[in-house]
Each structure stands twice: as structure tokens, then as C-alpha cells.
Amino acid sequence: MKKLATIVAASGLAFGLSACGSSNEAEETVENFGQALKDQDFETVCETMDPEMVEPLEQASEGKDCADIMEENSEELTGDIGEDDQINIVDSEIADDEQTATVTVENDDEEENDVKLKKVDDEWKITFE
């Protein structure tokens, strides 16, 4: 089974369940995205992603919206996520200009991965940049 934090970092999608309350909005975005992924709430998954990632995905899929695309690929996205899988937010760093952030997550195997975020219309969005 893939570990949760690995899925988060490798796919740019986040999954956060066990964090003990976020200390900032970037961490909250990672947690919200992760919970939405686990719940298969693909509307919320897409809402937490950088529109610059969503738009090309939708354009390549001939009229389908992000949530439909995610749902069609749900087995690949969530198939290895178990009921008890969890990730821990280890650290987060917000750039001095407050436009980008990195949230470090750790899976059950103590592997750390970074999730990148950027500000879009005053909201944190998960990105690959």
C-alpha cells in the first residue's frame, strides 16, 4: 500500500488527517485537500489545487471538469489510501513575500515530503511549482 504522505507529495495532492490543528492557512489547505481526497470529495480536491494545474487538465479532457476527471481516476488517486492512513505535518515555511509556501509532511514510515503551495486570489493552492 502506498503511504499517504508519498501520495501527497508525489501527486501534488494532499491528505491530512492526524495533524494536531494547523498553525497557518497553508497547512490548513494541505489538511483540507487530504481529507477531501480521502472522502473522494473531488470538487474540494480541485478547489484546493492551483488553477494553473487545473486548466490544462480540463482542456486536455475535452470539456470535462476537474472533479469529473478526478472521479474517473479515483482508483489511481485513492485506491491505496486506507481508512487508517494518516500524515503528519512536520513543518511549514512561508516565503518572505507570503506568496509561496512549503508544507513538509511525514507518513507512517517517517518519510518526509514537501508539498508546494502558492497564493491565488489570497487563498493557498497546491501546486507543482
**Per-residue pLDDT tens digits for 9-40:** 444 443 434 444 456 899 999 988 888 888 88
**Per-residue pLDDT tens digits for 73-95:** 888 877 767 666 666 889 999 99
Domains, in order of start, for the chain: 4-127 (3.10.450.50)
**Per-residue pLDDT tens digits for 49-81:** 999 999 998 988 888 899 999 888 888 877 767
Query: What is the C-alpha separation between 68 and 62, in angstroms, rounded?
Result: 12
Facing residues of 102 across strands?
Answer: 93, 116
At 123 the pLDDT is 96
pTM for the full predicted model: 0.77
